[in-house]
Amino acid sequence: MNLPIKKNIIAGLEIGTTKIIVLIGEILDNETINIIGFGKSSSQGLEKGKINNLELLIKCINKSIHDAEVMANCQIYSVFLSASYQEIYCHNEIGITPIKHKEVTKQDIKTVIDTAASVKIDNDHSILHIIPQDFIIDRQFGIKNPIGLSGKRIQANVHIITCNKNINDNIIKAVKKCGVFIKKTIFSGLASSLALLTEEEKNSGVCLIDMGGETMNITMYSRGSLYHNIVIPYAGNTVTRDIAYAFSLSYSDAEFIKKKYGYAETNISISCQKLKIYNKKGKKIIHCDYDSLVEVINLRYTELLNLAKDEIMRTYSLNNFKNHEAQEPSTIVLTGGSSQVKYLSQCAKKIFHANIILKKPCNILTIPEYLSKPEYSTSIGLLCYGKNSYKRSLEKKKKYGPLEHLFKTIKRWLRTI
């Protein structure tokens, strides 16, 4: 396949336990993203984020890339890759350094962030993200942009996200075998927040719960900054397995009736109708009625949401979180494929006693209708991350000049080989 290579193209690759998605976006002159390519395949060869069959996984990735390239009528050579598995950790660190020339410069900021990020991490982990939260100059707290401010000493509060090196390297190996290289690996929870959350929500305190097939990613913001991430290794697939076990169904039939008939809370009007349940071939499922189906779904979703609540409350009890004077979230945002079961918001309100919002991607100006669903939050968030990265690259190009920027880019590519 000899497709053309277009300019200003970014691509996102989400490798989940249930699906593999490739999105191709074109960055327009007004800095908006136009989604021009979409590829989706079922995910095989992966379990809870770990590869158990490399060949199968490569085949699935290749299919998604091929379909997206054909739709976009262009070839991609790099992608932004999402990461979501249990062995993704985070912690908040502090860096302190003197201000060299009385006023804070970009070099001072780089130095103080590097100091915060120099903390020792587990030997089997590598850093995914170093995210500044805020700065303190002498006794001035909560500064978001300290450039040009006067003082003697600057402190950076920094959020660090790490991942298991072996798991990440194996997934990168699978992607490289498909003929593309990884520009950056991005934590799925962070990607989803880029597609969903507004600055107002981040400032007021929000907790995003991205419910996938095998994992729930919890991303917590306070005072406009990212403060904590949690990956819980249970999600929507456990609900499907419960339905399959309770009614002696195949996994695929259980998934079908969960999506078509499933409710997380009882709807009295439907309960009174004595609704009959059919599998995807149109055959009536014996011993399965609406009320018993809701009971199975409600029990498991209640357990999943309580797991999330326990982790959130545990986070607020940690000393390093209290030191930042973070607020408890005023809003819980639900997204992801497994958040689409009907009446989930009503179920969540009983557990969190907070404002519950079910969200689909909204931070790209024009999203095709077929992608405007919670299950595509991470994929679209990868394009948002890619656009921000593209803007930073343009700024560096202007600063260093085209030749020096080219040498830096080639050097970065060589490090990824």
- Which helix (H) or strand (E) segment holds residue 178: the answer is none
The pLDDT of residue 413 is above 60: no
The pLDDT of residue 416 is above 50: no
- Give all domains of the chain, ordered by start, each with its CATH number: 88-163 (3.30.1490.110), 198-362 (3.30.420.40)
Please, what is the average pLDDT of the chain? 88
CA distance 333 to 277: 31
Count of Cβ atoms closer than 10 Å to residue 15 Cβ? 25
Q: Residue 308 is encoded by which pair of tokens?
A: 């999330």
pTM of the model: 0.89
Q: Give residue 403's pLDDT band: very low, low, confident or very high (50, 70, 90).
A: low
* Span 249-259, pLDDT tens digits: 999 999 999 99
Q: To the nearest 10°, the Cα dihedral for 325, 326, 330, 336? A: 180
Cα distances (Å, whole numbers) of residue 44 to 8, 13, 18, 64, 177: 31, 15, 8, 12, 16
Residue indicated by tokens 């958040």: 339
pLDDT number for residue 8: 87
Burial class (CB in 10 A: 0-12, 13-18, 19+), 4: exposed
* Span 219-239, pLDDT tens digits: 999 888 998 999 999 999 999
Question: Does the CA dihedral 224-306-377-121 come out positive or negative?
Answer: positive
Average pLDDT over residues 26-39: 91
The pLDDT of residue 412 is above 50: yes
**With contact defined as beta carbons under 8 Å apart, do 264 and 342 qualify?**
yes
Q: Residue 30, Cα to own-chain centre: how many angstroms? A: 26
* Span 151-201, pLDDT tens digits: 999 999 999 999 999 999 999 999 999 999 999 999 999 999 999 999 999
